[in-house]
Amino acid sequence: MIAHLILTVQQVQEMIDHVNSHAPLEACGLLAGKNDRVERVLFVQNQAQSPVRFVMDPIEQLKAFDWIDDNGLDLLSIFHSHPAGPETVSPTDIAEAAYDVVHIICSQKDDQWKLRGFWIENHISTEVTLKIIE
Protein backbone atom coordinates (compact mmCIF):
# COMPACT_ATOMS: atom_id res chain seq x y z
CA MET A 1 0.00 0.00 0.00
CA ILE A 2 1.08 3.60 -0.26
CA ALA A 3 0.94 6.04 2.64
CA HIS A 4 -0.28 9.06 0.74
CA LEU A 5 -1.22 10.46 -2.63
CA ILE A 6 -0.33 13.97 -3.80
CA LEU A 7 -2.91 15.90 -5.84
CA THR A 8 -3.11 19.51 -6.93
CA VAL A 9 -5.95 21.86 -6.02
CA GLN A 10 -6.84 21.95 -9.72
CA GLN A 11 -7.06 18.15 -10.01
CA VAL A 12 -9.32 18.02 -6.95
CA GLN A 13 -11.51 20.70 -8.52
CA GLU A 14 -11.72 18.71 -11.80
CA MET A 15 -12.90 15.67 -9.84
CA ILE A 16 -15.45 17.66 -7.84
CA ASP A 17 -16.81 19.37 -10.98
CA HIS A 18 -17.22 15.95 -12.64
CA VAL A 19 -18.99 14.22 -9.76
CA ASN A 20 -21.09 17.29 -8.99
CA SER A 21 -22.35 17.48 -12.57
CA HIS A 22 -23.57 13.86 -12.34
CA ALA A 23 -25.13 14.04 -8.87
CA PRO A 24 -27.42 12.57 -7.61
CA LEU A 25 -26.01 9.70 -9.70
CA GLU A 26 -22.63 8.26 -8.76
CA ALA A 27 -19.78 9.25 -11.07
CA CYS A 28 -16.30 7.77 -11.45
CA GLY A 29 -12.87 8.15 -12.96
CA LEU A 30 -9.19 7.32 -12.75
CA LEU A 31 -6.07 9.13 -11.57
CA ALA A 32 -2.82 8.51 -13.42
CA GLY A 33 0.65 9.50 -12.31
CA LYS A 34 4.02 8.37 -11.07
CA ASN A 35 4.89 7.12 -7.59
CA ASP A 36 2.73 9.15 -5.18
CA ARG A 37 2.08 12.08 -7.51
CA VAL A 38 -1.11 12.40 -9.59
CA GLU A 39 -0.52 13.89 -13.04
CA ARG A 40 -3.82 13.41 -14.84
CA VAL A 41 -7.53 12.99 -14.04
CA LEU A 42 -9.45 10.76 -16.48
CA PHE A 43 -13.24 10.53 -16.46
CA VAL A 44 -15.12 7.30 -17.12
CA GLN A 45 -18.88 6.97 -17.53
CA ASN A 46 -20.77 5.16 -14.79
CA GLN A 47 -22.49 2.43 -16.77
CA ALA A 48 -24.78 1.67 -13.83
CA GLN A 49 -26.38 5.16 -13.98
CA SER A 50 -27.27 4.71 -10.32
CA PRO A 51 -27.25 6.91 -7.20
CA VAL A 52 -25.84 4.03 -5.13
CA ARG A 53 -23.62 2.02 -7.47
CA PHE A 54 -20.93 2.49 -10.06
CA VAL A 55 -19.69 0.22 -12.83
CA MET A 56 -17.05 1.76 -15.07
CA ASP A 57 -17.95 1.65 -18.75
CA PRO A 58 -15.58 -1.10 -19.95
CA ILE A 59 -14.70 0.51 -23.29
CA GLU A 60 -13.94 3.90 -21.75
CA GLN A 61 -11.99 2.18 -19.01
CA LEU A 62 -9.84 0.32 -21.57
CA LYS A 63 -9.25 3.54 -23.51
CA ALA A 64 -8.17 5.27 -20.31
CA PHE A 65 -5.81 2.37 -19.45
CA ASP A 66 -4.31 2.61 -22.96
CA TRP A 67 -3.84 6.36 -22.57
CA ILE A 68 -2.07 5.82 -19.24
CA ASP A 69 0.25 3.20 -20.81
CA ASP A 70 0.93 5.30 -23.89
CA ASN A 71 1.95 8.21 -21.69
CA GLY A 72 4.26 6.17 -19.48
CA LEU A 73 2.17 6.69 -16.37
CA ASP A 74 0.69 4.31 -13.82
CA LEU A 75 -2.86 3.89 -12.56
CA LEU A 76 -2.69 5.36 -9.04
CA SER A 77 -6.33 5.67 -8.06
CA ILE A 78 -9.93 4.94 -8.92
CA PHE A 79 -12.36 7.54 -7.65
CA HIS A 80 -16.12 7.56 -7.42
CA SER A 81 -18.75 9.61 -5.71
CA HIS A 82 -21.16 8.96 -2.91
CA PRO A 83 -23.54 11.87 -3.59
CA ALA A 84 -25.53 11.06 -0.46
CA GLY A 85 -22.64 9.72 1.64
CA PRO A 86 -20.99 7.91 3.34
CA GLU A 87 -17.47 9.41 3.30
CA THR A 88 -15.89 5.96 3.39
CA VAL A 89 -15.76 2.97 1.05
CA SER A 90 -18.91 0.84 1.29
CA PRO A 91 -18.97 -2.93 1.89
CA THR A 92 -19.77 -3.28 -1.85
CA ASP A 93 -16.76 -1.10 -2.75
CA ILE A 94 -14.54 -3.31 -0.60
CA ALA A 95 -15.99 -6.53 -2.05
CA GLU A 96 -15.60 -5.32 -5.65
CA ALA A 97 -12.17 -3.65 -5.37
CA ALA A 98 -10.23 -5.23 -8.24
CA TYR A 99 -7.07 -3.11 -8.42
CA ASP A 100 -4.23 -2.35 -6.00
CA VAL A 101 -4.76 1.38 -6.13
CA VAL A 102 -6.03 4.11 -3.83
CA HIS A 103 -9.81 4.17 -3.83
CA ILE A 104 -11.01 7.75 -3.46
CA ILE A 105 -14.54 8.53 -2.32
CA CYS A 106 -15.97 11.95 -3.17
CA SER A 107 -18.85 12.36 -0.75
CA GLN A 108 -21.32 15.18 -0.48
CA LYS A 109 -22.88 16.66 2.61
CA ASP A 110 -24.68 20.01 2.85
CA ASP A 111 -23.58 20.84 -0.74
CA GLN A 112 -19.92 20.41 0.21
CA TRP A 113 -17.78 17.73 -1.41
CA LYS A 114 -15.13 15.93 0.59
CA LEU A 115 -12.46 13.52 -0.67
CA ARG A 116 -11.01 10.63 1.31
CA GLY A 117 -8.65 7.90 0.10
CA PHE A 118 -8.53 4.24 1.08
CA TRP A 119 -6.32 1.25 0.40
CA ILE A 120 -8.25 -2.03 0.24
CA GLU A 121 -6.44 -5.27 0.88
CA ASN A 122 -7.77 -8.61 2.13
CA HIS A 123 -11.21 -6.99 2.50
CA ILE A 124 -9.88 -4.41 4.94
CA SER A 125 -9.78 -0.69 4.13
CA THR A 126 -7.08 1.60 5.50
CA GLU A 127 -7.20 5.36 5.08
CA VAL A 128 -4.60 6.91 2.77
CA THR A 129 -3.75 10.59 3.30
CA LEU A 130 -4.55 12.83 0.34
CA LYS A 131 -2.03 15.69 0.22
CA ILE A 132 -3.46 18.62 -1.68
CA ILE A 133 -0.86 21.04 -3.04
CA GLU A 134 -1.05 24.24 -5.13
* Contact residues for Zn ion, defined by CB under 5 A: 90, 93
Let me know if 26 is a catalytic residue: yes
Toward Zn ion, which CB reaches closer, 69 or 100? Answer: 100
Q: What single DSSP character describes residue 27?
A: -
Minimum distance of Zn ion from residue 19's CB (angstroms): 12
Q: From CA 8, how far away is CA 12, in angstroms rounded?
A: 6
Toward Zn ion, which CB reaches closer, 47 or 90? Answer: 90
Q: Tell me phi and psi for residue 25, to 5 degrees.
A: -80, 155
Among 26, 87, 121, 127, the active-site one is 26
Minimum distance of Zn ion from residue 107's CB (angstroms): 9
Q: From CA 115, how far away is CA 105, in angstroms rounded?
A: 6
Residue 28 to residues 41, 61, 73, 122, Cα–Cα distance (Å): 11, 10, 19, 23
Minimum distance of Zn ion from residue 34's CB (angstroms): 26
Toward Zn ion, which CB reaches closer, 8 or 47? Answer: 47
List CB contacts of 12: < 8 A, sequence separation 6 or more: 115, 132
Q: Tell me phi and psi for residue 12, to 5 degrees.
A: -60, -40
Q: State the catalytic residues.
A: 26
